[in-house]
Each structure stands twice: as structure tokens, then as C-alpha cells.
Structure 1
Amino acid sequence: MDDQTLFDVKNAVEVMSKALKLFAEKITELMNWYHINQDTINEYLKAFGNLILWRNAVNRLSENQIVFTEQLSGDMIEKVNKSTNVDEFILEYYTENEEKCLRNLVERCGTAERVIAYKKLYPQIVIAAEMGCFQLACLGLFSLEDGILSDIVNQPKNTSFKKRMREIEDKINNKIPPSQTDLKVFAVMISIGAFQETAFGNSDFDKPEPSYLNRHWTLHGRSHRDFTKMDYIKMLLSLDALIFMANLAERIEEKNR
């Protein structure tokens, strides 16, 4: 090995040694920073992990046309994510303990001013459901939501559910900073968005009837599906969500006047 080669090797080793030393220093700094901020980092990772679980639960509910209008607790999130059949789990949730949660939902919707304005329609819907006539109950709820939505946006001639719903969503999105919006609002908005895509989306009559709730097939008398208690609960939840969002939009407008 000549002197030049030996010199080059020596320089290369020195450069590598300095690089390794600098790398070791940076690793040490990083580890020190981690140990100092370990509790904060763990809290962040836990919160981030919980947010992923929350979003997964909201997605599972939304995929089944369920607009869950109550606050999603950690226990509820875990049960939704672990459930092999989300519809059955939510049905059990609303019908256990002598249907306590279902009765609360029915009463909450029934005492809303926008529902009371339609006088006897809602009580007749509830009676139909109590008699097991779930198709009639769902038919009535589709009509009721259509009317309430027209009242909210004050557009009697507009029959597009999506366009009218978007007006309410825009009032919320444009006025409330994300930092002031709790997860319940996000969950309802995500789920109602998914619900309107299927329940209020167009569906051609020359194609097979969809397995999910669809206003087009129901109101035009083309549906041959079996309507269930779970269908009724889904429609009630969508009504509850509509009322919740309308009230929220009104509060925002009043606050910003």
C-alpha cells in the first residue's frame, strides 16, 4: 500500500469516526429528550390511538346507516369495534332494560319543536312502530324529515336532501373552529353524511332494490324488503341527528349576530 492510499484510508476512517461520534451524540440528545418528555409523548400517543379507535367506530356505525347521536364513550367505542354485527349490537343497546334508550330517543324526538309542528304525524309514526308496522313508520319518518328540512332552510321548492343538508353543515363548518367542536358533532356530521348518500341517494328502479334503507324506493312504493325494528331505530336516529344539527346551527347564528 503506497503512502497516498494509506493517507486516503486514514482520512476516510477519520471522517467515518467523526460521523459516528456525531450520530452517537444526536442519539444521546434524542434519548435524553424522550426521557424528559416521555409522559407527554405517551399521552399524545394514547390520545392519537384513542382517536383512531373513535374514528373506526364511527366508520363502522356509518357503514350500517347508524347515526349515533349520543356521546361515544370509551366503552361504547370498544364494543362497536369488537362487535361482529353492529346492527345487532345497536339494536340490543336500544332495546335492553325494557327499551329504556329507545323510549328516551322517541321522547327526545317527539318533544323537539320542529317535530311538534307536524302535529299528529309523529305520534302516528310511533304507534305504527309499536304495532310492528315498521315500513309505515319508516315511510312516515322519511316524509317528516323531508318536511322538517324544508322548514329549516326555508326552501319549499327544493327537494334535494343533500343540497338542503349541506346548507346546515356549512353553517356549522363556517362558524365553529375545529378546536371548539367536540367529537359528538364530528361523529354526527360524518355519519349523517354517509346516511344521506345511501338513504337519500338515487337508486334506479330497473336495478335490484338495495339492501339498505332508501327513500326513493320507500316513498315511491317500490320497496319489497322486510322493514325491521332496526330500520325504525336508524330512521329515528337520523331524525334526532337532523334536529341536533339544526339546533346547533341556530345557536351558532344567534351567537354571531
Structure 2
Amino acid sequence: MDSLQPILNSIQKFQQQHSQILREASRVAMISNYIPDEAFRMAKATENLTRQLKIINSDSIQKAFDTISSIKLDLHLPSFPKFDYLEFDEQRLERITRHNVSVGWTLTGDMPINLYLRDEYLDMEHDEIDKIFIAFYEEDEYVQLKTLIKNVKNGLSEKWSEILDQSLDLYLEGRYKITIPALISVIEGELSSIIGSSKYGKRLVDEFHNKLDDKMKFLTIAAYSAYFFFDEHLFKSHDFTHARLPLLNRNWILHGRDDPSAWKKEDALRLLNTLSTLQFIKEIEIAEN
């Protein structure tokens, strides 16, 4: 039963150790044949909690805590504290999320909450924030980026598998620019698949917004961040006679108006990150249907 202790410690410190929860939950799941069913349920409930923390709805988050609290283990455990939703004030969430999106970073299902929702980002320059997210994906020999590609391949349409593999290889080789138009096509295709629409471009994003309005209680920070990124940047209408926008723009790229010399590796990484966000939204859609 010692293998459960890291999980129990992580639950008590979930805000500081979000990534530890995921790792330990996965580790316990792998050895579930050797521990009691109740322990396995604790691991799965813990993993679910890390997902629920990304839902902007106090009832949904409290339900996740209550689920864990209801699991009975033959262990001497402290009572689980009542969750104070005020720490996750919606205005604060939106302010930080909108700021991160202004730099092109959306929230994924595998990204630690305490990495994405940092108040200090509000006072940081864009390139400083870029460095934080680049480091997240590239540290330890690109372990998080490789995990992202693996998870996206498992969660999105199989037809994109080869493009995703090649995108990873090209990124690691420093030849990321060729992946950018392809990844934009994947994003648009997956968005249309998730919301079941035959529309494209800005009209597709508008339909995405309408779908979010219809399911307010299931809205996630991830869904909000994706919508803001699409509406205000990637799919934004921008006249071809005007100056280039700071972030990538779907119309300018796919219609041959953009200048590839301006594309950077963080642009390719942002698109891969966005695909991971869509994968997370797709998981929620499947779970709720």
C-alpha cells in the first residue's frame, strides 16, 4: 500500500503538484492487479479530479472532490478538505486565459493547471511566456512534446497520423515551417468533426461558439481558450492589404498571403498544442454523450 502514499500526498497539495497526481494515478493504474479495487478507484478518481479542475463550474469540481471523499480505504487518512471555489474565480480564470491566448497558448488536457494559470503571466512580455511553454514541451529530450503527439494520434482521426508523425520529426530536425499549413488543416478538420459541421473558416468558429453557448455547464477553460484563439487570431478575418498580424492567421497562410520567413518554431508548437486542446474537448464530448 506504500505505492498509494504519493497519490494521497498529491491530493492534499493538488494545486502545487498537479502533474504529480497524473503521474501517480497512471502508475497505480498500471499496477492495479496488485492492489485492492478501492485503491484503483482512488487513482482513477484522482485522475478525474485533475480533469474536473479545468471545468469552469463549481458544482462539477465539488462533485469530483466528493467522489474521491466517498471512496473507502482501509487506511488512516485525514478527511478531505472542502474545496474553496473562490480560489478559481471565473474573472481571474478568464483574465489569465485571455492573456495566454493573446500569445497563442491554449490549455490542453495534459498541461498542469499550475503551469497555465499563473497570475505573473499578466505582467510578462510575450516572448517570456513563449519560453515557459517551449521549455515545458522541450525539456527532458522533448518528453512532453512526444507525449502530446502520441495522445493526439490516439484521440483524433486516424487519417492525420502520418502528418503528426512527420510534424514531430520535422520539428525535432528544426524544419518546422513546412508543418504549419498542414497543422492548420488538421485543426480545421478536427474542429469540424467535433462540432459536426460542414462549414469552414470563420463560419466554423462561429458555430463552435454557438455550441459552447448551448452547453454552458460543461464549458472548460480549454474550450474557452480554443474559441478565443480561433476567433481572435487563427481564423480572424484580416484584409490582405493590411499589415501582417503578430500570430499565425489561417486565411493568410492557406491563401498564400503570409510570409513564411516570419514563421518560428513556437508557431508550430502552438498549433500542436492547439490540437492537444481539441483532443481534450473531444474527450469531454465523448464522455458527456
Q: Report the AA paired with residue 101 of structure 2.
A: S
Residue 167 (structure 1) shift: 5.1
Q: Which one-letter code corresponds to 2:236 in the other structure? A: G
Which residue of 2 is the match for residue 98 of structure 1? Answer: 141
- Of 160, 166, 174, which residue of structure 2 is paired with 1:132? 174
Structure 1 counterpart of 2:246: 211
Tell which structure's C-alpha radius of gyration is larger.
1
Q: 2:225 aligns with which of 191, 212, 215?
A: 191
1:65-84 CA-partner distances (Å, limit 9, x unpaired): 10021241279625645644
1:230 aligned partner: 266
Distance in 1, Cα, partners of 2:147 & 2:269: 12
Tell me the TM-score normalised to structure 2 length: 0.60
Which ranges in structure 2 are unaligned for 5 or more consecutive residues? Answer: 1-81
* Equivalenced residues, count: 200
Provide structure 1 residue ranges, at least 5 long, that are not aligned to the other structure: 1-42
The structure whose residues are more often helix, as a share, is: 1
Measured in 2, the distance between the counterparts of 1:74 and 1:107 equals 21
Distance in 1 between the 2:116 and 2:169 partners? Answer: 33
Cα deviation for residue 211 of structure 1 reads 1.6
In the other structure, the counterpart of 1:151 is 193
Cα distance in 2 for partners of 1:92, 1:192 equals 21
Residue 202 (structure 1) aligned with residue 241 (structure 2): no
Alignment of 1:100-115 (within 5 A): 100-112=143-155, 114-115=156-157
Q: How many Å separate the matches in 1 of 2:116 and 2:186?
A: 33
- Point out the more displaced range, 47-56 or 202-211: 47-56
Letter matched to residue 128 of structure 1: L
CA 1:172–1:246: 2 relative to 1, 3 Å: farther
Distance in 2 (alpha carbons) for counterparts of 1:238 and 1:105? 10
Three-state SS of the structure 1 residue aligned to 2:251 is helix
State the TM-score, normalized to the length of structure 1: 0.66
Structure 1 residue 88 displacement after superposition: 1.6
Q: CA 1:57–1:191 in 2, change beyond 3 Å: closer, same or farther?
A: same
- Is the 1:62–1:191 Cα contact (8 Å) retained in structure 2? yes
Q: Give percent identity, aligned residues only.
A: 18
1:66 aligns with 2:74: no
- Quick one: higher RCO (CA 8 Å, sep 6+), 1 or 2? 1
